[in-house]
Amino acid sequence: MLTFRAVSEDHPGPKWAGLFSAYRDSYLAWWEREGVGVRPTYMEGLNALRRHMPELVPLYEQLVELAGGGDREARFLSFYCPPRYLSGCSQAIWPGDRPLIVRNYDYNPAAVDAVLLKTGWQGRRVIGMSDGLFGLVDGMNEDGLAVSLTFGGRQEVGPGFGVPLILRYILQTCRTTAEAQEVLVRVPSHMSYNVTVLDRDRRFVTAYLAPDRRTVISHAAVATNHQERVEWNIHARVTATVERERYLLQRLTLHTEPEHKFIRAFLRPPLYSLAFDRGFGTLYTAAYRPAEGQVDLFWPGRQWTKSFDAFEEDQTHITYPVPD
């Protein structure tokens, strides 16, 4: 069973510190699994932040202090050149008249924060699903900007940041899709990811990030686990990325269906996955409505709704068919 928690803290403080203390050993075990020496030094991570995301440096320093100020904690929180990590995921923009992005997050339930975090860091309110308590795998800000990621289906690794921190940076500093696009072109990602951005005026892009080539900006309304073409055939077969993309594209070419029906499609195959034995089962479905400042999280038979105006700090317990 996985417990999802909704946590609200306007400024970095005791709630964040308590969460980091609870997760610290798991975070660092993952971060140093290939050896501490292969990860960037503290100064390398700090200098990369100063160069590419300078607005985040004061916030980064606050979080490092709350995490205890240690060398490994600081290096982990920089998100610079982290270990490889893969996920599944599907996401799409609803073709109706209101901005709505729906996504499935497919991952290992033993390796997620499971924290929906509402913050007011640096004077801007953000709600999103936490990764490493600094990054986000999806989220929105009070200006009506929403972002979501999927793995891009390529094995290449290079100098750059873990993409969850790039999503955090976008929501901390951007108000529109155009501003977010500039960030996605400029900031290096250490692996290949697809990032879909949607603003309150229903302007959207999907950016194909990669460590070894320039970012490609697409106006695709759908993203699964490949980019312009399949480049990692085994991963594509295991995750059914092409089949999921085709399914979503077919739905978008039909007459515009109601929001609830579009969302419900994510709770069924081929989008909804129970492949936990392969590490990529669907952990949740999220529907972000950036113009309303509301996110709905779904599981079969259950809905969890939060917004900037109504954010109760509570929990929901989800059981997955995880193999022994």
Q: Of all helices (H) and strands (E), which one includes residue 286?
A: strand 281-289
Grade residue 323 by pLDDT with cuts at 50, 70 and 90. Answer: low
Measured between alpha carbons, how far is 67 from 20 in angstroms, rounded to an integer? 6
Grade residue 322 by pLDDT with cuts at 50, 70 and 90. Answer: low
List phi, psi (to 5°) of 6.
-100, 120
- Helices marked H in the chain: 14-31, 42-52, 57-66, 71-77, 163-173, 177-186, 233-239, 241-253, 259-265
- Residue 185: left if φ>0, alpha if ψ -120 to 50, beta else—which one? alpha
- The pair of structure tokens assigned to 320 is 């997955």
Q: What is the pLDDT of residue 45?
A: 98
Q: What is the pLDDT of residue 277?
A: 82
Q: pLDDT digit string (tens) for 278-297?
A: 778 999 999 999 999 999 99
User: Taking all residues of the chain, what is their mean pLDDT, rounded to a whole number?
Assistant: 96
CA dihedral 17, 21, 23, 28 (to 10 degrees): 110
β-bridge mates for residue 315, sequence order = 5
**Nearest residue to 24 via CA among 62, 64, 83:** 64
Q: pLDDT digit string (tens) for 86-126?
A: 888 999 999 999 999 999 999 999 999 999 999 999 999 99
36-54 per-residue burial string, b: 16 or more CB within 10 A, e: under 16: eeebbebeebbebbeebbe
Measured between alpha carbons, how far is 225 from 204 in angstroms, rounded to an integer? 19
- The pair of structure tokens assigned to 205 is 């892009």
The pTM for the full model equals 0.97
- The pair of structure tokens assigned to 84 is 């490889």
User: What share of the chain in percent tops pLDDT 90?
Assistant: 93
- End-to-end, the C-alpha distance of the chain in Å comes to 13
DSSP class per residue in 169-221 = HHHHH-SSHHHHHHHHHHS-BSS-EEEEEEETT--EEEEEE-SSS--EEE--S
Measured between alpha carbons, how far is 30 from 33 in angstroms, rounded to an integer? 5
Measured between alpha carbons, how far is 9 from 12 in angstroms, rounded to an integer? 7
Q: pLDDT digit string (tens) for 14-48?
A: 999 999 999 999 999 999 999 999 999 999 999 99
**Nearest residue to 115 via CA among 280, 2, 275:** 2
Measured between alpha carbons, how far is 163 from 168 in angstroms, rounded to an integer? 9
Q: What is the pLDDT of residue 254?
A: 81
**Residue 166 near residue 149, CB atoms below 8 Å:** no
CA atoms within 13 A on the CB side of 321: 6
* Residue 94 neighbours by CB distance under 10 Å: 23
Q: What is the pLDDT of residue 324?
A: 47
**Nearest residue to 94 via CA among 307, 265, 217, 225:** 265
**Residue 193 near residue 206, CB atoms below 8 Å:** no
